Amino acid sequence: MKVWIVLLLVCLPVVAQAKSVRIIWSPATRLSAWLDNVPNSQVKNWCDDTVAIHIEPSGALREDALREFIPQAGNLLHSQCKKLSTLRWTLIDATGKPVSQGSVTADEQWKMSIPAPEPAVADTTPWQRFATSAGCHFRTYWSTEPGSNVLISVDSKQSQCDSDGWLNGLGEVQSALQPADGQPLWFREGYPLADLPPGAKKNNNIQVVTANNQRLILANAADASSWLLLPWDAHDQVWRFTGQVLVKSSHQQANDKQARDSLIEKARQYWETGYSAGAISWQLVSSINPQLRDPAQTPLATEHDQPLPAGAPGR
C-alpha cells in the first residue's frame, strides 16, 4: 500500500540574521522549500500577499514531483498565512543554479500551469531514388542494416511510368532469404505502398500529400475530405496501411453522432475499407499538418469499427 506523507513545516531556532530557511520538506517527492532572506520560519517574518520560495531536490528529480509538491506547498503555506494569494517558486540544482521557475495562485488551487511541449516536427531526411529496367523510378529509404535484406520487384505488365517518370502500379516486396514469400505492393508516384484498401488502388485521383521515414499521407486530389495515414515499415522498406484514416470534420460535426457517422461512411465508401471490426481507426480532424510527425494533432474525435451483432446481415 502506498503511504502518503504529509508535508511538514520545519521550525528552526530563532536567529538574528537573515538567511535561507527550510520551511517545507516532502519525503514523498524528496523536495524541500526554502524562504530566502528571513531570520527564521515564524509566520510573521514571511507572511504576505506574495511569497517567494526556492525548491531544492534531494537526489534525482522525479518527472511529476514538482506538479505534486507545489500545490501541497501552496496549501500548507496558505494554512499558516491566510492573506497569501500568490506563491512564486524557483527550482535550483545542486550548484544553486536556477533550473525553472513559475508562480501559482490561491484562485487556481495552487495548480501549476505547465506549457504543453512543442509537437515533434516531421523528419526531413531525403528518400533515395531507384530506377527499374523499364526506365521508371521509385523512391524509398533503403536500409543497409543487418536483417533488412529485402527485394522490391515490379510487375512490368501491370505497372507504368507517369509523366514525371515515377512508377505506378503493381509490384512485390520479398525477403532475400525467402523470396517465395512475397507481399504485394502498389506503387503510387514511385512510393511502394502495402496493404492498401481497394479504393486507394483503383482511384486515379489518389495522390501522395507528403512522405518521410515516419509516415506517408494519401489523399483524394479531387476532394481532400479524408486521408490515409501509412506508417513507415523499416523492415520491408515500404509504407504500410495499418488502419488509420483521418476524416475532415468541424467541431460541430464531431460532436454530433449522426453527422460523425455520415462523414465516416463517406470516407469508408471512397477508400473501400470494409467493416472489419477494430481494424480501422477513424480520427476526425479539423485539418492536417504535414509538417508535424503526427499530422493529426489532437483529433476532435476517434471511432473504431465495431463487430456486427450476431445474425446481422453484412453491410
Q: Which residues pair with 208 in a beta bridge?
A: 218
Please determine, for residue 148, whether its predicted confidence score (pLDDT) is greater than 90: no
pLDDT digits (tens, 9 = 90+) for 2-42: 333 334 444 444 444 557 899 999 999 999 999 998 888 89
In a domain, 133, yes or no: no
Q: What is the DSSP annotation of 146-168?
A: TT--EEEEEEEEEEEE-TTSBEE
d(CA 176, CA 237): 13
How many distinct structural domains can be found in the chain? 1
In a domain, 229, yes or no: no
pLDDT digits (tens, 9 = 90+) for 220-258: 998 889 999 999 999 889 999 999 999 999 999 999 999
d(CA 231, CA 197): 15
In a domain, 293, yes or no: no
Question: Which range marks the domain in which residue 77 is found?
Answer: 8-108
Q: Would strands 191-194 and 238-240 be described as parallel, antiparallel, or unpaired?
A: parallel
**C-alpha cell, 295:** 499530422
Query: What's the mean pLDDT when you consider all of the chain?
Result: 86
- Pick the closest to residue 76 from 57, 51, 99 (CA basis): 51
pLDDT top residue among 118 and 219: 219
Please determine, for residue 307, whether its predicted confidence score (pLDDT) is greater than 60: no
The mean pLDDT value for 102-129 works out to: 89
In a domain, 313, yes or no: no
- Pick the closest to residue 296 from 286, 310, 304 (CA basis): 286
In a domain, 96, yes or no: yes
**Secondary structure tally for the chain: helices H, strands E:** 4, 19
pLDDT digits (tens, 9 = 90+) for 289-303: 999 999 998 899 999
pLDDT digits (tens, 9 = 90+) for 199-230: 999 888 999 999 999 999 999 998 889 999 99
Please determine, for residue 113, whether its predicted confidence score (pLDDT) is greater than 60: yes
Q: What CATH number has the domain bearing residue 17?
A: 3.30.300
Q: State how far the alpha carbon of 281 is from the alpha carbons of 48, 183, 255, 278, in Å.
A: 54, 23, 17, 7
In a domain, 77, yes or no: yes
